[in-house]
Amino acid sequence: MLSVQSLSRSFGGVSAVDSVSFDVQPGHVHAVIGPNGAGKTTLFNLISGVYEPSAGQVFLDGAEVTGLPPEALARRGMCRTFQNLQVCMNMTANENVMLGAHLHSNPGLWSGFFGWTRAADRRLEERAHELMDYVGVGSARGAHATQLSFGVLKRLEIARALAADPRLLLLDEPAAGLNDSETHAVGELIRKIAAGGTTVLLVEHDMKMVMSISDHIVVLDQGRKLAEGSAEQVRGNPDVIAAYLGVDA
């Protein structure tokens, strides 16, 4: 579904991502891990159109999408969440999820004149209710975003991304700031999303969760791909152990 080929990005002469290549298979949970400063979020930003690469290419379903802006990638089926919460705190939880479906709405003068937007809004609201139930925060439908816990807001972001009906969902540290039970629940949700046909690519620091839910893992260190493979292969790789522990393999 996704092919990253020799992707690179430098900032002021510093190479944040250096010739990274990997493929993501449909229906899989694919993780990118690495020590702090390894280039994980920069890689995500290059894939999702936030940054333009200095070199390399990105292909989605065989079509090159290198450097396309996020809105164009969303129309092609790629959506993401961010490391830091991007919830609209002046809206209700349900309105936040509805916002994620804007590409499927039908705004415009004639739509409003004939009342089509009202019917469309009802459908979007119903869909938002379904998605909130799906991610496990259905009880918060009518709550204002400011009333919700951090754990609920993290799930709310996932529901909002799903509202765009992505085929490829990028999750940037979905378990960051969560306790053990919340992390376990998010891990189960990610597996459910993938089982439902949406491919997942995630960056995550919680190794217990990554190892338990990932079909394939790419390890970055100092901007370069250090290793990749199954959880078992990565867990026992001496180069990976050295990178995380700061010792010679």
Q: Is the pLDDT of residue 13 over 70?
A: yes
- Mean pLDDT (the chain, rounded): 90
String of DSSP letters for 175-232:
TTT--HHHHHHHHHHHHHHHHTT-EEEEE-S-HHHHHHH-SEEEEEETTEEEEEE-HH
Q: State how far the alpha carbon of 230 is from the alpha carbons of 61, 105, 214, in Å.
A: 23, 40, 8
Q: Give 83's pLDDT tier (boundaries 50, 70, 90).
A: confident
pLDDT score recorded for residue 190: 97
Please determine, for residue 126, whether its predicted confidence score (pLDDT) is greater than 80. yes
Q: Does the global pTM surpass 0.85?
A: yes
The answer to whether residues 6 and 56 touch, using CB atoms and an 8 Å cutoff, is yes
The separation between CA 245 and the C-alpha centre of its own chain, rounded to angstroms, equals 27
**Which class for 78: exposed (0-12), middle (13-18), buried (19 or more C-beta within 10 A)?**
buried
Q: Are strands 29-33 and 216-221 parallel, antiparallel or unpaired?
A: parallel
The pLDDT of 58-62, averaged and rounded, is: 97
**Tokens 């020799």 identify what position?**
6
In this predicted model, what pLDDT tens digit does every residue of 181-192 receive, in sequence order? 999 999 999 999
Summarised one tens digit per residue, pLDDT across range 213-245 is 999 999 999 999 999 999 999 988 999 988 886
For 1-77+166-249, CATH number?
3.40.50.300
- Parts of the chain belonging to CATH 3.40.50.300: 1-77+166-249
Q: Is the pLDDT of residue 113 over 50?
A: no
Judge whether residue 143 has pLDDT over 80: yes
Q: What is the pLDDT of residue 200?
A: 98
Query: Under 8 Å CB-to-CB from 90, ≥6 apart: which residues?
Result: 145
